[in-house]
Structure 1
Amino acid sequence: MSDEIQEPYRHRTPRPVYVMIAEELAQEIAKAPVDSPIASENDIRQRWGVARATARHAIAELRERGLVYTVAGRGSFVSPRP
């Protein structure tokens, strides 16, 4: 058995891993109520087996798309829909 963390998306596509994680989370966010919390950085790290920086990039991507907002010290939440 290997102690290596497996990154399920690595080498499947030329797109960055954080973008693919953000796309999966965006599908989940679309079904979630406004102001509900999304997965934390640690949740993302464990679920996808990625580094903290990758998890942060995924959340930043969701913020850039306007799907979530972040409150310092509290987490990220589903943004109101236009």
Structure 2
Amino acid sequence: MSNEALQPYQRIAQDYGEKIRQGRLAAGMKLPGIRELSEEYGVAAGTVQRALTELRNAGLIYSHQGRGSFVSDTSGEADQDPTAHAIKVLQSQVAELTARLDKLEGERDA
């Protein structure tokens, strides 16, 4: 699939996925923030969030609420228990939903 045929979130996920697989981003490295990625790619924050979700679901990154997203240690991924991977994906999704809810509640209270 050419870069032009990709949705913006897919392009971001593909770009960062390649950087991780090629070793240009090492395990534990912090990814740029949502605002910075939004500016870099000229997209909305929600588009970046969706790209980060794709990367989390692929096991390439993990996120800590309030701290950012980091490159996962994928060296042992082939041996990873499928249940452990599913739990990581669910934890990531819950963290993302919690952050969104906090943001919405903050906007409502403002």
Q: Provide TM-score, normalisation by structure 1.
A: 0.79
User: Partner letter of residue 20 of structure 1?
Assistant: R
Alignment of 1:49-60 (within 5 A): 49-60=42-53
The answer as to 2:54 corresponding to 1:61 is yes
Gaps of 5+ in 2: 78-110
The number of residues matched between the two structures is 71
Gaps of 5+ in 1: 1-8
Q: What fraction of aligned residue pairs are identical, expressed as a percent?
A: 31
CA contact 1:45–1:55 (8 Å) conserved in 2: yes
1:19-74 superposed Cα distances (whole Å, 9 cap, x missing partner): 11100011112212211101211121011000011010111110010000000100
Stretches of 4+ aligned residues off by more than 3 angstroms: none
Bigger CA radius of gyration:
2
Larger RCO, structure (CA 8 Å, separation 6 or more): 1
